[in-house]
Amino acid sequence: MASAAKLHSPFTANPLPNHLSPSPSPILSFPSPATHSRHRRAPFVALSQLTAKPTILVADPLDRAGIELLKQFANVDCSYDLTAEELCMKISLCDALIVRSETRVDREVFESAGGRLRVVGRAGVGIENVDLGAATEHGCLVVNAPTADTVAAAEHAIALLTAMARNIVQADASLKAGKWERSRYVGVSLVGKILAVLGFGKVGSEVARRAKALGMDVIAYDPYASLDRARAVGVELVTFDEALAFADFISLHMPLTPSTEKMLDDEAFGRMKRGVRIVNVARGAVIDEDALVRALDSGIVAQAALDVFTEEPPPPDSRLVQLENVTATPHLGASTTEAQEGAALEVAEAVIGALRGELSCTAVNAPMVPPEAMAELAPYVALSEKLGRLAVQLVAGGSHVKKVKVTYASSRDPSDLDTRLLRAMVIKGLLEPVSTANVNLVNAEFLAQQRGLRITEERILLDNSPEIPLDSIEVHIADAESKFASAISETGDIKVEGRVKESTPYLTRIGCLDVSVSLEGSLLLCKQVDQPGIIGRVGRILGAENVNVGFMSVNRTPLKQAVMTIGLDDEPSKEALKKIGEIQAIEEFVFLKL
């Protein structure tokens, strides 16, 4: 006969590093879809839901609207121009950090946070200044404000393009210097010219739209852009080589990544039309700036208009900035009143949401799930975590968990069912009962990998109505012994299966046994000889301990056995569990915490 479950760690590989200590609030709970509105102007935070006010450090200037919103929810410390050391000193007292592009949030910041920092908010798009790997390892969510400055950046690109073509900046400086140089500042027309947009995302496509309105022919290079989107804007997608070869103007709108760094180098400039004009509102380092100076000197590039630089601010003696045929602005792409207010509110909402345990639809290092999908998946998310939690508690001491398979039975087309959230929650359920780690959506995969846990997923396509996202979820642990022998399935795995019934997660199968219990509180699973009196005896033992039974189900097996599943509000004492184990007809039992 099996004894009551005692928690042990079945994960032997790579214990958690100390810095990954528990944090009070996992990044996951389910708000009403309305709280995800990106453009909400009214406050929406119910202060009564909070126990203690969190502290948010705002390390770069943020529009007042965002600060006001944050203040309704948290203690807000606006400290700009901190040195790296000062930031590391302050961060251990903060639950959230908000930055723009100026403050670097390096690994040391996460290491100095001592597990308290739960979210970093970037009030803008580019997140090169945040070490995403380190954030993920520390279970810290990173959110940005991806849409608020799209139009501002596109407008700035167009402003630079037109100003450059007509020498506006140079002519203005000349006039202010008391000169009248009409023949010196003859420009070039835009109409009928080819503009190559490199990076056809949010900003790139807005630039394309505006350039077309100016009468330009727009082509775009973006290896990930959809043809439909390009068609909708009336832009032809071309190869990188074609873009370089055909363009009279090139406007850059890709993110800075290892593959885009120095994308325009000597070789690329060598393939451009002589006299090409370049606009960069993306990131300075996508251009090899020394190569650009050479191309400007040689006349391959006639003019450049730059808002961004590899080093910001660029050195005062930067030859690139000083060149007469370069128009330069100090990273002003997002600097409109409207964009700043929008970005501040967008990031404030995302940070507050994350601190409340909600998932963000602007998460950078966690699956982004649209609010509607979140609402639909909510009970399955809870089910996934509970199944993971149950499965790992069924593993016998001494057995190692290495291989886990999650099976989703659904009538939905796999492309219409995002299981990343469910997978992460299964991992959370598997790891949390046996570790001190704060497992959340951000670090679940990382922690699983670190422990040598291999998770595979399988879909079973059903022929029912696709209205309901999932019929059932199964969690299988392979190559492990169970402390409840009946949890072993036909295939030799420890298996638990669950379903959602009326929005409530249910355990519906354990090993080969059918059960039906809602997954709340804790569970006592007993397999017994099917004979009268057992339920009463177990009930009396629990009653004597004042342990409330929330629900109970008994299912018969074909072999004159019965499986009794009892939902308990409290944990019975060891003595009570021992007494239950001594009831002769009980063949095995296990107590599981949910």
Ligand X SMILES: O=C(O)[C@H](O)COP(=O)(O)O
Ligand Y SMILES: NC(=O)c1ccc[n+]([C@@H]2O[C@H](COP(=O)([O-])OP(=O)(O)OC[C@H]3O[C@@H](n4cnc5c(N)ncnc54)[C@H](O)[C@@H]3O)[C@@H](O)[C@H]2O)c1
100 binds, among ligand Y, ligand X, none (CB under 5 to 8 A by kind): ligand X
HSE-CB for 488 with a 13 A CA cutoff? 12
Nearest one of 202, 532, 144, 576 to 564, comparing CA atoms: 532
Distance in angstroms (rounded) separating the CA atoms of residues 15 and 115: 17
- Binders in 313-352 for ligand Y, by CB under 6 A: 331, 333-334
Write the DSSP symbol of residue 313. S
> Is 558:512 a contact under the CB 8 Å cutoff?
no
Catalytic residue among 122, 138, 277, 331: 331
Q: Are 53 and 73 in contact (CB under 8 A)?
A: yes
Interface with ligand X, residue 149, by CB under 6 A: yes
Identify any residues that bridge with 487 across adjacent strands, giving them in sequence order: none
123 binds ligand X (CB under 6 A): yes
Which of ligand Y, ligand X, none sits in contact with 255, Cβ below 5 to 8 A by type?
A: ligand Y
Q: Which candidate, 514, 531, 538, places its Cα nearest to that of 589? A: 538
Stretch that binds ligand X, among 43-51, 327-335, 532-540, 584-592 (CB under 6 A): 327-335
- Min separation Cβ 205 and ligand Y, Å: 8
482-501: contacts with ligand X (CB under 6 A): none
What are 278's strand-pairing partners?
250, 304
d(CA 465, CA 569): 36
- The SS3 call for residue 81 is coil
- The answer to whether residue 267 is catalytic is no
Residue 282, contacted partner among ligand Y, ligand X, none, CB below 5-8 A by kind = ligand Y
Would you count residue 150 as binding ligand Y (CB under 6 A)?
A: yes
What is the spatial distance between Cα 52 and Cα 75, in angstroms, rounded to a whole number? Answer: 10
Cβ of residue 341: shortest distance to ligand X, in angstroms?
Answer: 13
Nearer to ligand X, 165 or 350 (CB): 350
Between 108 and 128, CB nearer to ligand Y: 128
Query: Which residues in the 99-138 window bind ligand Y by CB under 6 A?
Result: 125-126
Minimum Å gap between C-beta 373 and ligand X is: 26
313 upstream amide cis, omega within 30 of 0: yes
**Catalytic residue from among 156, 283, 423, 509:** 283
Contact flag: residue 429 with ligand Y (CB under 6 A): no
Q: Work out whether 363 is an interface residue with ligand Y (CB under 6 A).
A: no
Which 8-state DSSP code applies to residue 463? S
Instruction: Quickly count helices (H) and strands (E) in the chain.
Output: 18, 22
Which residue carries 């410390």 as its tokens?
Answer: 77
Question: Least Å distance between CB 247 and ligand X?
Answer: 23
Q: What's the sign of the alpha-carbon dihedral 262, 267, 268, 270? A: positive
Of 98 and 525, CB closest to ligand X:
98
Q: How far is the CB of 123 from ligand X (least distance, A)?
A: 6
Task: Name the residue whose CB lies closest to ligand X.
Answer: 124
Question: Rounded to an integer, what distance in angstroms lies between the CA atom of residue 249 and that of residue 301?
Answer: 10
On whether the CB atoms of residues 419 and 408 are closer than 8 A, the answer is yes
Q: Which long-range contacts (CB under 8 A, 24 or more apart) does 509-513 make?
A: 509/474, 510/390, 510/394, 510/484, 510/486, 510/563, 511/482, 511/484, 511/485, 511/486, 511/487, 512/486, 513/486, 513/555, 513/557, 513/563
Pick 159 or 359: Cβ nearer ligand Y:
159
Which of these ranges, 91-99, 130-138, 280-288, 458-466, lies near ligand Y under the rule CB under 6 A?
280-288
Question: Which residues ranging from 189 to 208 are in contact with ligand Y (CB under 6 A)?
Answer: 198-204
CB of 182 to ligand Y, least distance (A): 32
User: Under the criterion CB under 6 A, does residue 288 sit at the interface with ligand Y?
Assistant: no
Interface with ligand X in residues 330-349 (CB under 6 A) = 331, 333-334
Q: Report if residue 308 touches ligand Y, rule: CB under 6 A.
A: yes
| Pairing label, strands 513-518, 504-510 | antiparallel
Residues 448-467, mask of contacts with ligand X (x by CB under 6 A): --------------------
Q: To the nearest whole angstrom, how small is the minimum distance from the Cβ of residue 289 to ligand X?
A: 17
Q: How far is the CB of 28 from ligand Y (least distance, A)?
A: 25
Least distance in angstroms from the C-beta of 281 to ligand X: 8
- 430 lines the binding site for ligand X (CB under 6 A): no
Residue 123 interacting partner from ligand Y, ligand X, none (CB closer than 5 to 8 Å by kind): ligand X
107 catalytic per annotation: no
Give the one residue of 57, 62, 95, 101 binding ligand X; rule: CB under 6 A.
101
CB contact burial 543-579 (16+ within 10 A = b; e otherwise): eebebebeeebebeeeeebbbbbbbbeebbeeebbeb
Coil, strand or helix: which one is 412? Answer: coil
Selection from 207, 198, 205 nearest residue 233 by Cα: 205
Residue 99 vs 563, nearer CB to ligand X: 99
Q: Which is nearer to ligand Y, 117 or 334 (CB)?
A: 334
Taking the CA atoms of residue 91, residue 92, residue 93 and residue 98 in that order, the dihedral angle to the nearest 10 degrees is 30
Active site residue 331: yes
Q: By rule CB under 6 A, what count of residues binds ligand Y?
A: 32
Binding footprint of ligand Y on the chain (CB under 6 A): 125-126, 146, 149-150, 153, 198-204, 221-225, 253-256, 259-260, 281-283, 307-308, 331, 333-334
Binding footprint of ligand X on the chain (CB under 6 A): 100-101, 123-126, 149, 331, 333-334
Catalytic residues: 283, 312, 331
